[in-house]
Each structure stands twice: as structure tokens, then as C-alpha cells.
Copies of this chain bind each other. A is one copy, B any other.
Amino acid sequence: MLYLIGLGLADEKDITVKGLEIVKNAARVYLEAYTAILLVDKEKLEAFYGRPVTIADREMVESSSDDILADASNVDVAFLVVGDPFSATTHSDLVLRARELSIPVRSIPNASILTAIGATGLQLYNFGQTVSMVFFLENWKPSSFYDRIKENVSIGLHTLVLLDIKVKEQSLENMARGRKIYEPPRFMTVAQCAVQMLETEEERKEGVYGKDSLAVGVARIGAEDQKIVVGTLEQLAESDLGPPLHSLVLLGRRTHDLEREFLKEFAVGKETFDSVWKRDYEGKQ
């Protein structure tokens, strides 16, 4: 059996009791480590599980799925995924490959940032489609997120923006020379995201949002030191929410009084929050 097991968001104890039992009894344990990261390292997981863990990078999952699935008709293989197992497309590929090989598959759900974002007090019913934002380069600033946010804004909904992480990336030079030397991991911050959003608005000028638009920055959701900061995009562009992982929510105009009450506690500037809220969000449909 192939088990896809969600690990939740913060540390080794966010696995479910059911998931832990499976890990303890599996023949092999893989950890997917490129679409998200847990806030503890592999050694801590291995000590907690009492089992060796193999890091499965993108290359391994995409090109060596048969190694991962080897003999899984007879033994149990645990494939660990940070968050919920179906948060990333790659895992659908793995399941389809298992199906072709007649290997039974079971998934053990867990928390995902897509719902844990509710800790901000924003109501999950008021969210539209989720978008991703990648690191801009000098000549490559993909802004499809802007079109998606525009669609959500047009019907008054909040948008959760998931921020790029770069793990095990090669520099162009090392890639060209075939050197397997990897850059240190990089994680986009709320401040970087806000800057890129404002840069994109400046470029596109379709008025989807502006420097006065309210947004919520979150960091390390689910961890003891989780942080939530509410401000305008301009304020968030100056914010520092500490270590990864970060995400951002752009507020839609369809809001609820409970959301305002809950959010205000996290506002960097309560007066700005009140005046922008009143002008742009309150009572709008």
C-alpha cells in the first residue's frame, strides 16, 4: 500500500495519531521536501518516528517514482507531505502511477495553510481561488496571480497568496556546467510579496488593488510563535514577520463584522486600519 500522509504545518507532533502509526510500521518512509517545508529538520522527524526518512526532492518524485513505489503491492510505503497530501499536483501524478501498477493508495489528510489561514479570523467562505507568487527576476516577472486576484476582487472575495520557496535550486552556471551544487534555500517573505504586488499594479494599472488595500500577513501558522499582521500593502512592504513560512491574504470587499473585530487586534496601525476598513470594506457586497 502507498500511504500519502499529511504532516500538518509546524513540527513533528502535527502528524495525526493514525499517520504516526503507519509511519512506524512502514517498510520505507519518504519525505517530500520541495513544495513546502516543516519547521523542524529531518533528524528531529527520524528521532520522533524511530525510523530513517529519505528526502524525496522534485527530481526523485518526478523521475524515480518507480523506486518509491517498488514492491508497494506487498509492503507499506509512507510518502510524507507537509500540510495536506493533495496540496500539490505532483502527488496526483504519483497516485496515478501507483494506479497503473495496481498498487492500492490511501491518504491521511492533515491541516493545510488553505484552511489554517482561518486563524486570522477571516471566514473561509469568503475566500476565492488561491494563487501562488514566485520570486521576480530582472527579466521574468510572471503576474498571472494578478489576473486571478482580479477575478476574486470582482466578486468581492479574499485571496490567499502562497509564497515561493526555492529548495535545492542550482545557479544557472552550476546547471550549465552540470555541477550538483545547490543554492541555500530561499523563502519569500510577506514584505517581498507586498512589494511585488505593488510593482505589478504599477505595471498593469488595472486598479485591482493599491498601496492602501488591506492585507493580512501570516508566518509560521500552527507553530507556537505564529504571527499575524494586518496592514495596508504599503505597511506590509515594510513589515518583518521573522523566519519562514509566510503567506499573505488580500482582503476582498465582502467582509463580516466578526472579521473586522478579529483582525483589528493584529493591525500594525489601528487608525489606518479603521479608516481604510470603513472606506473600502465595511458593508460592501
Q: Which of A87-95, A240-248, A272-280 contacts B (4 or more CB under 8 A)?
A: A87-95
Minimum distance in angstroms from A234 CB to a CB of chain B: 27
Assuming A17-B20, A96-B258, A96-B261, is B128 touching A119 (CB within 8 A)?
A: no
Whether B111 pairs with A84 at a CB distance below 8 angstroms is: yes
Whether A124 pairs with B13 at a CB distance below 8 angstroms is: no
Chain B residue nearest in CB terms to A6: B111
Residue of A12, A99, A118 most packed against chain B (CB within 10 A): A118
For chain A, the bracket of interface size reads 35 or more
What is the total number of copies of this protein in its complex? 2
Minimum distance in angstroms from A181 CB to a CB of chain B: 32
Assuming A109-B116, A114-B115, A119-B107, is B258 touching A92 (CB within 8 A)?
A: yes
Residue of A93, A106, A107, A129 most packed against chain B (CB within 10 A): A129
Is the CB of A192 closer than 8 A to any CB of chain B?
no
What residues on B are CB-neighbors of A96 within 8 Å? 258, 261-262
What residues on B are CB-neighbors of A121 within 8 Å? 86, 92, 95
Task: Pick from B20, B119, B129: contact of A126, CB below 8 A.
Answer: B129
